[in-house]
Amino acid sequence: MTNTLQARGRALHERFFARVNRERLEALRDAMKAEEEARALEDVLGVHDETLLAHLVSLGLTHDTVAALSLVPLIAVAWSDKILQNKEREAILLEAVSMGIHPSSDTYHLIEQWLTVEPNEQLVADWSAYVTELKPHLSAEQLSGMRDAILPRAERIARASGGFPGITSGTSAEERLSLEWLAGMLS
């Protein structure tokens, strides 16, 4: 074989396989991005179900979407009695940090704003509409996993204001109604 023939053969081979290699590289990048997003969702939701996380990523849910999905109910419960106690505020901010939301992030600062001024009803309406649209895309087990991630956090927020041991539970009637509504939305 001549050098020219070998060189042309290598060029043909490289040109032919360049597309395959590029497609494989893109697929690898997509898989890595999906895995990274699943880990971010795992942090926010506190769920370790790989199937649920992969499914949420496939539906296009992002860390920010899931942060909103997880935090709006907490904020709604805290404001349901029209009074936000300092302990409720602190508890929500601690929950946000436990979800991987850094105190210097825009999301954290937005949460702080929601804890300063009662959010308008449209925020909860948008959350409800989103959950209603999301639920048909989840299996009963996946929905249960999401409920198990969100509802206990909301219950902790409702109990955060304390009450008086042996006299009151620390959860107002409005907060109990809000928790019942949340449980219904996530069922």
CA distance 4 to 22: 26
pLDDT single digits (tens) 36-61: 878 877 777 777 788 878 888 888 88
Amino acid 41: pLDDT: 76
The DSSP letter of residue 135 is: G
CA distance 74 to 117: 14
Amino acid 1: pLDDT: 56
Q: What is the pTM of this model?
A: 0.72
Domains in the chain: boundaries? 1-187
Stretches in the chain below the pLDDT threshold 70: 1, 25, 162-169
Amino acid 166: pLDDT: 46
Amino acid 119: pLDDT: 83
Amino acid 42: pLDDT: 79
